[in-house]
Homo-oligomer: A and B are copies of this chain.
Amino acid sequence: MRTDIAILGFGVVGAGTAKVLEMNKEEIARRTGTEIYVKHILDLRDFPDSPFADRVTHNADEVFGDKDIKIAVETIGGARVAYEYTKRALSAGITVVTSNKELVSTHGVELLKIAKENGCQYLFEAAVGGGIPIIRPLYRCLAANKVVRIAGIVNGTTNYILTQMKDNGISLEEAVSQAQQNGYAEANPAADLEGIDAQRKLSILSTIALDGTYVAPSSIDAKGITEITTDDIEFAKKIGCELKLIALFENKEGSKPVAYVAPTYVSRSSLIASVEGVFNAIMVEGNALGESLFYGQGAGAVPTASAVCGDILEAAAGDKMPDSRLWEDKGEAIEAYDDVKASIVVRAPEIPVTAFSEYDSVRLDGAVIVNDIAHKDIDRLIAGIPGAKWMHYLK
């Protein structure tokens, strides 16, 4: 048997997907009983040196009009052309597999609905955590859990930069340019540095954790690492922490769900603190499972393609999309950031003994951990402490 697929956008991940399918074709055929055949590659460019050069077309009609195509891999990126092509494919009953977190997080509600209506699927394992299996485990393995918390390092670029700053004592600017030289940051790294990429991924994870109640990226407060100094990093060592950009989701009994992205002092007792360089790690806490961590390469052509291929094989098996995979936009799904109660670290040359007396707090050398403090109260409370600075804290 043969399953014909099309790849839309032959960039890093698209080409990686073709490569992985070729590299492991024997394993794939044995496991699925079908050969996955890349019939069309839709791109504006030509790739004369690629072994797939003969499959490249610039004509979208040729791809979407081909009745043999059962699966389209959307690796264009962005939410414009990718959005149009994804709608067109799904409307034609073609299952779409993607690594495009921007598109999934922005238009997931609509695209999943179109997929359902047309008897196909919209799959996006590769959109979060690169090659790390996380979307499917959340849906499948944790099906009998209520997800009470997700805490993740979901952006490899910023984790690489923070690791370099720590290990080599260099400034943010130096670390960014080093990351660019090594291919770990884009020429314009704003989406990574400002936490926008993490915000999109957290939108997807939170929505799944809430059984499809859509958490829009725009509703998630995201601070990036643009203001992080070598001082902030040095201070982490002093209090037994590592400074990480954390995407946090919480759904405690009796409160509204919470989701935000912020640079965070992570206690070294947590395995997440040990995640270095471009790696990603996502800690999921289920009410039955307890804590579970998923760790691996969060980016890169071949690891991400590995996740794309996992979805292709699932799609090739022809499973129907269950109703429970639909997303629904019910408006405000999460608590307003100002009202969210967080754990923070406040540091200052001198902190008055009475400073946070009404809070559950722990005194450290030159700092205080303050628990359950509403974001809106933080500035007021530290205003009276000369030189005070605060950051989120994760135990």
A residues contacting B by CB (< 8 A) are 20-21, 23-24, 27-28, 30-33, 125, 131-133, 136-137, 140-146, 211, 271, 274-275, 281, 286-297, 300, 302-303, 305-307, 309-310, 312-314, 317, 319, 322-324
Contact = CB atoms under 8 A, between A and B. Distances in A.
A324 to B, nearest CB: 4
A10 B42 CA distance: 56
Contacts of A140: 133, 136, 140, 310, 313-314
Given A125-B141, A288-B309, A289-B296, 11 more contacts: A20-B144, A21-B144, A24-B146, A27-B144, A133-B140, A140-B313, A140-B314, A288-B302, A289-B307, A290-B302, A294-B294
A211 B27 CA distance: 8
Contacts of A146: 24, 27
A300 to B, nearest CB: 7
A202 B218 CA distance: 45
Contact of A24 (B31, B145, B274): B145
Q: Which of A133, A300, A302, A322 has the most CB of B within 10 A?
A: A133
Given A141-B136, A313-B144, A290 B300 contact: yes
22 contacts: A24-B144, A27-B146, A31-B143, A31-B322, A131-B289, A133-B142, A136-B141, A140-B140, A140-B314, A142-B306, A142-B310, A143-B310, A144-B312, A271-B295, A288-B305, A289-B296, A289-B302, A289-B307, A290-B297, A293-B293, A317-B322, A319-B319
Contacts of A21: 144
A320 to B, nearest CB: 10
Contacts of A305: 288
A261 B64 CA distance: 52
A324 B292 contact: no
B30 A288 contact: no
Nearest to A27: B146
Contacts of A20: 144-145, 288
A271 B275 CA distance: 8
Contacts of A31: 143, 211, 322, 324
Contacts of A33: 322-324
Contact of A133 (B141, B295, B302): B141
Contacts of A143: 28, 31-32, 309-310, 313-314
Given A137-B136, A142-B306, A145-B306, A296 B288 contact: no
Contacts of A141: 125, 133, 136-137, 307, 310
Contacts of A28: 143-144
Contacts of A310: 140-144
A289 B297 CA distance: 7
